């Protein structure tokens, strides 16, 4: 059997010896510090991943918001909500060979490229996280693709009737709202 008295004698003699006691205390403190460091490092890595995911979601959110502002400005021009703006738009287009149409097409193409890149970054980050299902990432991916197609249809406003433009604006708003709600959940950490 194990003798507790001899164990306490060994411990007290080790602790009475300054050098051995100090080394033992240093080893214990070193082990505790190493354990705390490893826990802290794993927590830092986890929070860095969450921060990056939120950053991707915020980037996509801002790009969709900017694209919608540009889209709404185009709708305002082509539906005649602001007649003075529509008149200026028509005058410049006539004098400068469809300048606004070309610029608008370039902007819509740039928006769709930026939105696709941001969505790909976000979806990649979500797929690496075990808390997000394939269903959630598929919904974001599908809605972003639909949003981009609808955004590109803005290039054809000059060929559409006012009612068709307004109907298209309603549909793209629904898709944008769906995407932004999902992004807000990701940003808030839900």
| DSSP per residue, 66-119 | HHHHHHHHHHHHHHTSSHHHHHHHHHHHHHTTSHHHHHHHHHHHHHHHHHHHHH
Residue 173: predicted pLDDT: 93
Number of domains in the chain: 1
Tens digits of residue pLDDT in 33-75: 899 989 989 888 888 888 888 999 999 999 999 999 989 988 8
- The enclosing domain of 159 has a CATH number of 1.20.120
Query: Is 51 within a domain?
Result: yes
Binning pLDDT at 50, 70 and 90, where does residue 190 land? low
Host domain of residue 127 = 46-188
Establish if 25 belongs to a structural domain.
no
Mean pLDDT of the chain: 84
- Asked if the structure places residue 50 within a domain, the reply is yes
Q: What is the pLDDT of residue 83?
A: 81
Give the pLDDT of residue 1.
52
Residue 39 lies in a domain: no
């Amino acid at each position: 059997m194990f003798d507790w008295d001899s164990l306490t004698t060994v411990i007290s003699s080790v602790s009475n010896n300054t050098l051995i006691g100090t080394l033992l205390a240093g080893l214990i403190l070193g082990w505790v510090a190493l354990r705390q460091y490893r826990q802290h490092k794993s927590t830092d890595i986890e929070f860095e991943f969450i921060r990056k995911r939120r950053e991707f979601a915020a980037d996509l959110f801002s790009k969709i918001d900017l694209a919608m502002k540009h889209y709404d400005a185009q709708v305002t021009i082509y539906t005649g909500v602001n007649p003075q703006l529509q008149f200026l738009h028509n005058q410049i287009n006539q004098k400068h060979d469809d300048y606004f149409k070309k610029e608008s097409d370039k902007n819509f193409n740039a928006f769709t490229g930026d939105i696709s890149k941001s969505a790909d970054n976000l979806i990649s980050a979500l797929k690496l996280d075990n808390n997000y299902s394939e269903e959630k990432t598929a919904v974001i991916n599908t809605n972003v693709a639909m949003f981009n197609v609808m955004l590109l249809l803005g290039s054809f406003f000059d060929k559409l009737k006012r009612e068709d433009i307004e109907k298209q604006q309603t549909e793209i708003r629904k898709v944008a709202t769906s995407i932004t709600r999902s992004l807000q959940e990701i940003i808030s950490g839900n």
